[in-house]
Amino acid sequence: MAKKYQAILFDLLTALLDSWSVWDRAAGSEQAGRAWRAEYLRLTYGCGAYQPYEELVAQAAQNVGLTADLAQQLEQNWLDLQPWPDAAATLVRLRQDYRLGVVTNCSARLGRLAADRVGVPFEVVVTSEQAGFYKPDPRPYRLALEKLGLPAERVLFVAGSAYDMFGTAQVGLDTFWHNRIGLAAPAGAPAPLAESARITDLLEFVDIK
């Protein structure tokens, strides 16, 4: 029987990479890092049209009582990004049967650097800067589909945050939520087809033995 999907798109900074640790280290503690990151997410998911990523990161820091120069510290720590355990091995297995890509909320430069940190090549890397809008606006997802040359029904999206579901639902992308750290879904978020704290469960979801 023909497989349902021809390609799999991933959120990069939460589904594949442990960016939480990088933010926490720049902020000085997990509590400060989580508050800063939450405010950044609020700003990006609310602003729609692209504004420079580094400016939003700095604004978010100030909004939660941190200093704007922490945005520079975060950028300096960018090359410390590490994939979640088993992420690279899972992607290597998926590449045997699926085309792979990422859709990420950051600048084109930092998106490419982050994608390289995964250690597995992607056919498509779409950033909010390239698309001109931040997720969950549907345009970044649509740009990725355009680059793949595939309709939404032939592509699976792997989210790292439930905010992605607001966008994937608009585009018609089936969604698997790799909820690594047990985040609560925001009010009104559409439900994913599946949710797991383990990225290896994605293999079973797409029926890879």
| Domains of the chain by residue range | 7-18+81-205, 19-79
CA 189 vs CA 42, 128, 164, 170, 186: distances in Å: 14, 21, 9, 12, 6
Interatomic CA distance for residues 165 and 158, integer angstroms: 10
Q: What pLDDT band is residue 141 in, cutting at 50, 70 and 90?
A: very high
Q: Model's pTM, two decimal places?
A: 0.94
Lowest mean pLDDT among 8-22, 42-56, 66-80: 42-56
Instruction: Assign domain 7-18+81-205 to its CATH superfamily.
Output: HAD superfamily/HAD-like (3.40.50.1000)
Question: pLDDT digit string (tens) for 47-59?
Answer: 878 999 999 999 9
Question: Which CATH entry fits the domain spanning 19-79: 1.20.1450, 2.60.40, 1.10.3470, 1.10.150?
Answer: 1.10.150
Q: What Rg value do the Cα atoms of the chain yield, rounded?
A: 16
Other CB atoms within 10 A of residue 28 CB? 13
Name 157's bridge partners. Answer: 9, 175
19-79 shares the fold of 7-18+81-205: no
Question: pLDDT digit string (tens) for 23-45?
Answer: 999 999 999 999 999 899 889 88
pLDDT for 2: 63
Phi first, then psi, for residue 100 (nearest 5°) are -120, 145
Cβ 83 vs Cβ 17: under 8 Å: yes
